[in-house]
Amino acid sequence: MKAKLTIYGLMAVILLSGLVSCGTEENGFEAGLDDTDAVSEYPDGETAGEDIRPFDYPANVQRWPMIATGQTECYGMDGRIPCPFLGSQFFGQDASYQMGVRSYIDNGDATVTDGVTGLIWQKGYKADLTWYEAYSYCQNLSLASSKWRLPLTHELKSLVDYGESNPAIDTSAFPDTPSEWFWATKHTGFNDVASGLEASWIINFFDGFVEYTSRSNLYNVRCVRAN
């Protein structure tokens, strides 16, 4: 009997430890990465005629702040509904959680600071680039005496305002943003250059839809400051 109780006790401790670990992982992003981005965005050997490892990607462990998505309405099977209470059907939509307001600061030098995430963005954008061209464009961008890089997937997604569409972004902070696809970081499941299986994440600023595609396609890019 004592042996059985000891075994049951150990199982309970292991289960509790697992639950605590899961909760910790879900409470925020670490090292600026989400589940769409690998720890090594551009591993050794991943080349397109050049070494494209991210020498300037953030290495510190940090929490990603809660961001207001912009969604203010709740929906059920047949359309818009009053936002349900805890425990009710359809509870848990973004509109039920008001995370504060978005805050953008125009720095007056063709850059915009996100007052919530602290990220500094290129106010404009560059159109019709392959992923490799977009990467090179950001790495070599000369703007506001800073270094720049392609945004990580969740960084770019933080600009999406799901309360707006066509485009789904704050147009006072980012005027003339087209309702089109923008490049983000590499899709870690498709990164074999030799076999042609190379893809990267893209976000559509018509409605904030996230997809992945071949890196040879032509889309837009908005760079984020690297330092």
Q: Average pLDDT for residues 34-42, to the nearest whole number?
A: 36
Q: What is the pLDDT of residue 29?
A: 31
145 or 2, greater pLDDT: 145
Q: Is pLDDT of 134 > 50?
A: yes
Q: What is the pLDDT of residue 16?
A: 36
* Tens digit of each residue's pLDDT (9 = 90 or more) over 89-107: 998 887 777 667 789 999 9
- 3-state SS, the chain, equals CHHHHHHHHHHHHHHHHHHHHHHHHHCCCECCECCCCCCCCCCCCCECCCECCCCCCCCCCCCCCCCCCCCCCEEECCEEECCCCCCCCCCCCHHHCCCCCCCEEECCCCEEEECCCCCEEECCCEEEECHHHHHHHHHCCCECCECEECCCHHHHHCCCCCCCCCCCCCCCCCCCCCCCEEEEEEEEEEEECCCCEEEEEEEECCCCEEEEEECCCCEEECCEECC
pLDDT class for 187, splitting at 50, 70, 90?
Answer: confident
104 or 191, greater pLDDT: 104
pLDDT class for 227, splitting at 50, 70, 90?
Answer: confident
Q: What is the pLDDT of residue 63?
A: 58
* CB neighbours of residue 145 within 10 Å: 6
The first and second tokens of residue 69, run together, are: 């998505």
* Tens digit of each residue's pLDDT (9 = 90 or more) over 138-184: 999 999 999 999 999 999 999 999 989 999 999 999 999 999 999 99
Q: Is pLDDT of 8 > 80?
A: no
* Tens digit of each residue's pLDDT (9 = 90 or more) over 52-95: 334 444 444 445 677 888 888 888 999 989 989 888 999 888 77
Q: Is pLDDT of 209 > 90?
A: yes
pTM passes above 0.75? no
The proportion of the chain whose per-residue pLDDT surpasses 70, expressed as a percent, equals 69
Q: Average pLDDT for residues 8-30, to the nearest whole number?
A: 34
Q: What is the pLDDT of residue 212?
A: 93
Q: What is the pLDDT of residue 126?
A: 98
Q: What is the pLDDT of residue 95?
A: 79
